[in-house]
A and B are shown apart, each in its own frame.
Chain A
Amino acid sequence: MFDIKKHIKANSVDHAIALLQENPDARLIAGGTDVLIKLRDGKSGFSELVDIHGLEELKVIRRDKKNNILIGSGATFMDIIQSDIIKNHLPMLCEAASSVGGPQVRNVATIGGNVCNGVTSADSASSLFALNAILEIRGKGLTRQTPVSKFYLGPGKVDLKKGEILTAFKITPENYQGYFGNFYKYAMRDAMDIATIGCAVSLKTKNHILTDFRIAFGVAGPVPLRCPKTENAVMNQKVSENLLDEISQTIETDVSPRTSWRASREFRMNLIKELSKRATKEALTRAGEEV
């Protein structure tokens, strides 16, 4: 039994926004794979719920006329894995979704919940950072957009005001067309585990020159992060083995992993350096480059 005092089912996004206005202490519940565990743990702040579980309006994955890819926040990881649009255009996100938990969790947990949780280990977050995802947020009488990099304010804290709902992730064509990516999750087990380090790379090459390079990590700092120093340092360089070494050397200056019971700072730093090479190499291979 969960310690729920009030449970109201929303029939639409507008209804959910209205319910959040009427019930200022209420929290949203979607897949429930985090909220119900917090409730079971006796954590406070979740006793009033506005329920958006399975809301069709939030599950849509589509490509609009301008070739933007829109992923509804209520899409489950299984919806993402099975989507041809994601498979064909954002395979990196497909890899990230496949690395989440086990089948039962992937069948109900949503990408919106993964990000709104605000945790650094969210498997989908580093890919969304590398894709420059834009978050569409709706509140009473307003719709706003914010880049994923500005959404994370601190551990467990995201830029979602009371009464607002994250409705979709938008990936614009200039952020995926012509790009090749890779997501690499390192964990103690091959499944059902929280990432020790998650690494997403998205890049573009032309005539064996790296014309764009983006690298993002989860668990390499208090929130998921991009590595601007490394990205700038290697931009427009020739693809080579040396380039990979340069990436793994510069990357240390971009990250700030910490020691936790899961892994020490030193081990995480070692992983970050190694994964930066492996994920970049795989993305380069997919781009048709030889390294």
Chain B
Amino acid sequence: MNEYREITFSINGRPRTLYIDIRKSLLEVLREDLGLTGAKQGCGVGECGACSVLVDEVLVDSCIYLAVWADKKHIRTIEGEARSGILSKVQQAYVDEGAVQCGFCTPGFVMATTSFTKECAGKKLTEDEIRKAHAGNLCRCTGYENIVKAIEKSMGPDKE
């Protein structure tokens, strides 16, 4: 017995109404129904953060988040971060600092940093605090040094 349900939500600012299988995770709906393949499935159990997206501006692992929970919510994924071809400040910082290697973890990391920089705007934070705030995201390539630099840059003053 397959059960389907209608959900209405906004994805990167665009309203959508979908008729979805109740068994699906938000990640599956994003990737399979909407073709938004930026968020990745890594571990599938909420440890690696490759599937991180923002739900009503709150960072969640979309692989362990039921798609039906997205009803009436605002979802932000990596696909919506660049505007008119211009990267977001966080994305640009990741590029500038060489914080991207294979790229699998990057969409999740960028969303984590996007949420983090908003929460911590104006605060001076230690490297340890930055690392702890990104503990839910794993990168197996870079060794994190450049990612930490990118996060620090994301928190710095805007370029004119």
Interface residues of A, Cβ cutoff 8 Å to B: 1-7, 9, 29, 32-33, 36-37, 40, 51, 53-54, 78, 101-105, 107-108, 190-192
Which 9 A/B pairs are nearest by Cβ-Cβ distance? A102-B136, A191-B135, A102-B135, A104-B136, A104-B61, A36-B64, A7-B22, A1-B23, A4-B23
B22 touches A4 (CB 8 A): yes
User: Which single residue of chain B is at the shortest CB-CB distance from A29?
Assistant: B66
B69 touches A53 (CB 8 A): yes
Q: Which residues of B contact A36 (CB under 8 A)?
A: 25, 64-66
- Report the Cα distance A53→B44, complex, angstroms: 20
B23 touches A3 (CB 8 A): yes
Contact bitstring B1-15, A, C-beta under 8 A = 1, else 0: 101000000000000
Known: A5-B1, A190-B132, A191-B132. A101 touches B46 (CB 8 A): yes
> B21 at interface (Cβ–Cβ under 8 A)?
yes
> B30 at interface (Cβ–Cβ under 8 A)?
no
Q: Which residues of B contact A101 (CB under 8 A)?
A: 46, 136
A sample of 5 more A-B contacts (CB under 8 A), given A37-B64, A108-B58, A191-B132, is A32-B64, A33-B64, A101-B136, A103-B59, A103-B112
Nearest CB on B from A129, distance (A): 26
In the assembled complex, 12 residue pairs joining A and B whose CB atoms fall closer than 8 Å, in A order, are A4-B22, A7-B68, A32-B66, A54-B69, A102-B137, A103-B59, A104-B60, A105-B46, A108-B65, A190-B132, A190-B135, A192-B136
Q: Which residues of B contact A33 (CB under 8 A)?
A: 46, 64
Most B CB atoms within 10 A — which of A6, A101, A104?
A104
A103 touches B136 (CB 8 A): yes
Q: Which residues of A contact B45 (CB under 8 A)?
A: 37, 40
> B154 at interface (Cβ–Cβ under 8 A)?
no
